[in-house]
Structure 1
Amino acid sequence: MTLIRTPADETEARAVQDDLRTRVVLDEPGPPPGAGLVTGVDVAYDDERGVVVAAAVVLDAATLDVVEETTASGRVAFPYVPGLLAFREIPTVLAALESLEHGPGLVVCDGYGLAHPRRFGLASHLGVLTGLPVIGVAKNPFTFAYDPPGGSRGDASPLVADDGAVVGRALRTQDGVKPVFVSVGHRVSLDNACAHTLALSPDFRIPESTRRADALCRRALREATAG
């Protein structure tokens, strides 16, 4: 069981990020794409009721068949603050992961790792707390600049911070569709993170891992808040 504590306020949350950020591992390649298990995680909220639901969907990386799926629900315990969203999501995501019987192998978040203003998004936070290899695949580039990649599947361009640091890549997963934004979380290289993202996206812009987790957490939220 991974024990975490919800920060009392924004100042404490940033201090936690500063501490945990020093533990991110960036010099491991990570598991090979197309082998083993891959787990997508995603979160849905009902802010009016203060409810958050997380889903974890384990896929066979070779076939993309679902091996297992779980959900967990909880109370929203931290306010919405850009750059600190992990503190709203981490407890419930951890509960979903810890209830799995398989894997999880590589974890794919619908969010950011190093591509974060403090270089410590959900994917990095989750990786440090669990020790698992984690990547972030986001739908939007947050505040970072990039040149549009070529129009073909597999084309990519750097995601660049204000200080010139490369924090991820804009990656085209399907011909002629908008790119996704891949960043390292923990214990995976950027090259490998992009290779996993392509392997998980044979038919759609969004990887099957998080696409399925998104659908599951939305369904579970509807059930949790029905009536």
Structure 2
Amino acid sequence: MTIIEIPADWPADEAEALAVQDELRGRVVLDEPGPAPGTGLVTGVDVAYDDERDLVAAAAVVLDARTLTVVEEATAVGRVSFPYVPGLLAFREVPTVLAALAALRGGPGLVVCDGYGRAHPRRFGLASHLGVLTGLPVIGVAKNPFTFTYEQPARERGAAAPLVADGEEVGRALRTREGVKPVFVSAGHRVTLDNACAHTLHLTPRYRIPETTRHADALCRRALKAITA
């Protein structure tokens, strides 16, 4: 497998990365509803790291949005493209994620990231970053909370509570299974928060996390194991 190298124009330090975030954040579109849940295609993206070899494996798994069956998948392995800095994690993996998406034969439809969009200290997490660079509708569904204030939603499936930062709702804690801890949903690009939550519920018929993320997580781990075996 070809190793994706760090792009020549990629930010080299924190100051450069922050400047890129500031520039790209102005391109985020949040007033488009996005595709209707259960229609078209939906693609999960996720990454796995080999810290010893400084590699990251990315997976893109396309599902039929109505049936949630896998219709295509692709992987890519690349160099980790940025140091670990909280709030700048997208810069570590975006080139490899883009390569995995580019390897798909068809369009990905809606993209679901295991991470954040607007629910980010600078309102520009991985889901927003990926959306602006590709022009695709993207949402973020994270397993763990970031630095935001929220109340626990009610116990039933579908209950939600706002993620609040500086008095602004930047995402929602969403209960996808009754009595199980919530996931943390935010709009990334070209999808409203309401629709992002609706997609998340459609993608979680059996488990806490979306089927897109479950498939992509397993695939990127297999890809990393294959390249490091």
1:191 partner amino acid: D
- Maintained 8 Å contact 1:4/1:91: no
Partner of 1:211: 214
For 1:64, the equivalent position in structure 2 comes to: 68
Gaps of 5+ in 2: 1-6
Q: Deviating runs (4+, > 2 A) in structure 1?
A: none
Which residue in 1 is equivalent to 2:193?
Answer: 190
- CA displacement 1:150-177 (0-9 Å, x = unmatched): 001000000001x111000000001111
Percent identity of equivalent pairs: 79
> In structure 1, what is the Cα distance between the partners aligned to 2:216 and 2:8?
23
TM-score if structure 1 supplies the norm length?
0.97
Distance in 2 (CA, whole Å) between partners of 1:119 and 1:204 is 28
- Alpha-carbon distance change, 4 to 146 in structure 1, aligned in 2, over 3 angstroms: farther
Which residue number in structure 2 is paired with residue 133 of structure 1? Answer: 137
Cα distance in 2 for residues equivalent to 1:186 and 1:125: 8
Q: TM-score, normalised by structure 2?
A: 0.96
1:200 corresponds to:
203
Cα pair 1:58 1:102 within 8 Å, conserved: no
Alignment of 1:1-227 (within 5 A): 5-161=9-165, 163-226=166-229
Shift of 1:4: 8.2
- Between the aligned partners of 2:203 and 2:10, the Cα distance in structure 1 is 33
AA aligned opposite 1:222:
K
Gaps spanning 5+ residues in structure 1: where?
none
Q: Distance in 1 between matches of 2:65 and 2:107?
A: 11
Equivalents in 2 of 1:78, 1:12: separation in Å?
11
